[in-house]
Amino acid sequence: MIFILLIASTVANGILFTFAGGAVVLGLVFSLIGWPSSKPKDSGQLKKLYTFILLVCATLTMLVMFMALTFWSARISGTLAFTSPAEVELYISQAKKLVLLGAVQGVFSLLVFRYIMPLIAGELELSKKHIWMIASGVLLSLASGGAAWLSSV
């Protein structure tokens, strides 16, 4: 049971990592396409350019931070799935890290996708499918880390 939860957490967070990485690459490409082709001539254009650069950098930084959280959650749950519980101290510390990462990932996802990103990039059009996928990564990290932690105590 714990093995299945850990593998499901690895897969869900791996999918989230992949899609966030694709969004970062697309964001870089489209920001370069939107880059002005000539130097700004007055301070109004220069201010718009700086605002554009700041918004792109802030958005991509938040996505990279989300990628880091999902990568580490996937890595730790994959490590836990294939580590024998005989190494109790290592197993417990990894399970605690997974629970903590799941909680941080949940809070970070809620803050960024619900409150911060709409202020920066406009309203996000997240469907129920997107919300459930993000929530599944968080919930599976918390559940599998908690189950592994409790099974070894």
Record the tokens describing residue 30, joined without a space.
Answer: 């489209």
Q: Domain extents for the chain?
A: 2-151
Per-residue pLDDT tens over the stretch 57-92: 888 899 999 999 999 999 999 988 888 777 788 888
Distance (Å, whole) CA 83 – CA 133: 26
Q: Is 1 helix (H, G, I), strand (E, B) or coil?
A: coil
pTM: 0.85
Other CB atoms within a 10 A radius of the CB of residue 118 amount to 12
The 3-class SS string of 27-83 reads HHHHHHHCCCCCCCCCHHHHHHHHHHHHHHHHHHHHHHHHHHHHHHHHHHHHHHHCC
**CB neighbour list of residue 142: distance below 8 Å, 6 or more residues apart:** 99, 102, 103, 106
- The amino acid occupying position 148 is A
Per-residue pLDDT tens over the stretch 46-61: 787 788 888 888 888 9
